Amino acid sequence: MKDLLKYLKNYKLQSVLAPLFKLLEASFELLIPLIVASIVDKVNGVAGSAVSSQEATRFVVFACLILIALGIIGLVSAVCAQYFAAKAAVGFSKELRSDLFCKIQSLSYKDMDNLGASAMITRMTSDVNQIQTGVNLVLRLFMRSPFIVFGAMVMAFILDVTSGWVLAATIAVLFVVVFIIMLVTIPMYRKTQGYLDGVTASTRETLVGSRVVRAFCKEDDEIAENKKRNSRLYSSQISVGAISALMNPLTYAIINAGIIALIYTDAIRVQAGALTQGQVVALYNYMSQILIELIKLANLIITVTKCFASAGRVDEVLKMQPSLMHGAGGERIEGAPFLSFENVSMRYSDGAACALDDISFTVERGQTIGIIGGTGAGKTTLVNLIPHFYDVSEGEVRIDGVNVNSVGDEKLREMCGVVPQRAVLFSGTIRDNLKWGNEQATDEQIMQAVGYACATDVIYSKQKGLDEQVEQGGRNFSGGQRQRLTIARALVGKPEILILDDSSSALDYATDATLRKNLRSLGYDPTVFIVSQRTGSIRYADKIIVLDGGRLVGCGTHEQLLRDCEVYREIHNSQYAEGEGA
């Protein structure tokens, strides 16, 4: 948690004023029992037989006015403390959430795969909210409650040493109980947050894959799995809640036992004349103040325990170092191939099998490269290495003779236009989405890219054209429309390297053929990588790379591979009758 305190640096004033106002309120609160005692005990108070009723009334009125004044000042102080604490806590969470989001954006695909989307969402929402609540309560109560507890104990010692020791013993027992409960619950809260990750993951998967779930009639299985994870979270929350719930009743029991001991001993001392009735009333009030503050402190400790558990999870992400390797900038080598894979192997995790194994090929600027292979052959893995989304495990990927990890990710990804397998659109307008490729693009340039992507009909079919709203995930567009718009988004930036990762799977053959024809007449000469399951989509490529089980088993033109590569021939023949489309 201490590593996260830096997010309060812009709220130092509020972080100081909030507890100071609380201490001011607490100071006035500690004076109240003394005023009440003076009303009872002073010679000029209601207990004095030597004063007239009129004088007694005046003193009571005066004392009551002081109590009202202290109450008003205390109320103003409390409101100010609440305001400053809330402002500091909200600002803290805003900056923490912003940094957490930036950190997640800086992580590599591998880091995100390891962490998991559901875990990142939980940390951005539930954990940060828990920390915000903890910061707010700490600023308000962390100094006030101990101040009242120890202040009341000091005042008790001033009034009567023997009674002071009763309060001190009560407080010591309470702190032992609180410490033990805190020690037990901190790891349990951390475990509970982990179970919450599991429930979030299950819910997210079911929502994203709802059509698949229903298509395979797996609703009952998903409900059962969700109930299982929910039950585990429920059991964990019940267990930790049961232990945390002991805090209040134990506090009440210990304090009430202390009050019984206090009244018993003080009654004997009043009878003996060692104490006055007013002092007993003051001591009782101080014990009641301690009870109230320790209940608040107990609830604060429960919240702080959750806060520490969440802070540890958030800090874990903030301390993650992006796993992508970056080398020193290299100089372009004259005569080197535009892009080359040199004995490249790639594993997604240490000890795992190779997703790519010893891949070598070269690509010249402006060529169109087709990539084909069975499911799990490594096609997407291969093209993800070009924009440096993943690091190679062995070998090198080079552009103009320079290792991609030395080019610089920002520069490299400006060179690359990537259209992923799953077409993703973001909330906003169509124009906003297409300008991701080039923020300075004019409507004319956007519509030109839309035309090349065969998506003109998509724009004209919408009442507002480019200003049509895109719902979350682009769910108000069909799969084919989303694919064509994501291709247009990549083309708006006029990338030097265009990567189409099975991005025409939702298109019919005629639209696919038109798209490929348009790509050959872009007006500039990008290097194009087309990942496809259809040999018809890549048959006119300058070079076709055939993958099987992560290994390169063929490289050449369509005709050469039909003649020399059995894997390619089998894929082609499975899609066309023998002799057709050859």
Return the pLDDT at 544.
93
Question: 474 in the Ramachandran plot: left (φ > 0), alpha (ψ -120 to 50) or beta?
Answer: left
Mean pLDDT is highest, among 270-279, 288-297, 327-336, 360-369, for 360-369
pLDDT-derived band at 90, boundaries 50, 70, 90:
very high
Return the pLDDT at 582.
52
Residue 43: both structure tokens together: 């010679």
For residues 537-548, give the mean pLDDT.
90
pLDDT-derived band at 124, boundaries 50, 70, 90:
confident
Instruction: Determine whether 423 is exposed, middle or buried from the number of CB atoms within 10 Å of its CB (0-12, 13-18, 19+).
Output: buried
CA atoms within 13 A on the CB side of 49: 0
pLDDT-derived band at 76, boundaries 50, 70, 90:
very high
Question: What distance in Å separates the CA atoms of residue 275 and residue 269, rounded to the nearest whole number?
Answer: 6
Return the pLDDT at 405.
85
CA atoms within 13 A on the CB side of 58: 5
Residue 223: both structure tokens together: 């409900």
Q: Are 462 and 468 in contact (CB under 8 A)?
A: yes
Question: What distance in Å separates the CA atoms of residue 81 and residue 322, rounded to the nearest whole number?
Answer: 40
Return the pLDDT at 167.
79
Return the pLDDT at 44.
43
Least confident range from 21-25, 386-390, 444-448, 500-504: namely: 500-504
Greater confidence, 115 or 364? 364
Read off the amino acid at residue 549: G
Which of 528, 530, 529 minimizes the C-alpha distance to 505? Answer: 530
Return the pLDDT at 162.
79
Which of 345, 368, 355, 360 minimizes the C-alpha distance to 532? Answer: 368
Residue 275: both structure tokens together: 């104490």
Instruction: Determine whether 415 is exposed, middle or buried from the number of CB atoms within 10 Å of its CB (0-12, 13-18, 19+).
Output: middle
Return the pLDDT at 52.
61
Question: 400 in the Ramachandran plot: left (φ > 0), alpha (ψ -120 to 50) or beta?
Answer: left
Question: Is residue 258's pLDDT more than 90?
Answer: no
DSSP class of residue 501 equals E
Question: Is residue 45's pLDDT more than 50?
Answer: no
For residues 190-199, give the mean pLDDT.
78
Question: Is residue 546's pLDDT more than 90?
Answer: yes
Structural domains of the chain, with CATH? 2-318 (1.20.1560.10), 339-575 (3.40.50.300)
For residues 353-368, give the mean pLDDT.
90
Least confident range from 209-213, 494-498, 541-545: namely: 209-213
Question: What distance in Å separates the CA atoms of residue 178 and residue 250, rounded to the nearest whole number?
Answer: 9
Return the pLDDT at 363.
92
Question: Is residue 246's pLDDT more than 50?
Answer: yes
Question: What distance in Å separates the CA atoms of residue 528 and residue 521, rounded to the nearest whole number?
Answer: 12
CA 530 to each of CA 114, 275, 364, 367, 371: distance values in angstroms, whole numbers, following the listed order? 28, 94, 15, 11, 6
Return the pLDDT at 47.
46
Instruction: Determine whether 351 is exposed, middle or buried from the number of CB atoms within 10 Å of its CB (0-12, 13-18, 19+).
Output: exposed
For residues 10-21, give the mean pLDDT.
89
For residues 189-199, give the mean pLDDT.
78
For residues 469-478, give the mean pLDDT.
84
Return the pLDDT at 330.
65
Question: Is residue 371's pLDDT more than 90?
Answer: yes
Query: What's the predicted TM-score (pTM) here?
Result: 0.69
For residues 208-230, give the mean pLDDT.
81
Question: What distance in Å separates the CA atoms of residue 294 and residue 252, rounded to the nearest whole number?
Answer: 9
Question: What distance in Å separates the CA atoms of residue 498 and residue 437, rounded to the nearest whole number?
Answer: 12
**How confident is the model over 273-302, as pLDDT tens digits?**
677 777 778 888 887 787 777 777 777 877
DSSP 185-243: HHHHHHHHHHHHHHHHHHHHHHHHTHHHHHHTT-HHHHHHHHHHHHHHHHHHHHHHHHH
H or E stretch covering 521? none
Read off the amino acid at residue 10: N
Q: Are 159 and 224 in contact (CB under 8 A)?
A: no
**How confident is the model over 519-539, as pLDDT tens digits?**
888 878 889 999 988 888 888
For residues 62-71, give the mean pLDDT.
86
For residues 422-435, give the mean pLDDT.
88
Question: What distance in Å separates the CA atoms of residue 9 and residue 312, rounded to the nearest whole number?
Answer: 20
Torsion of CA 572, 574, 576, 577, to 10 degrees: 120
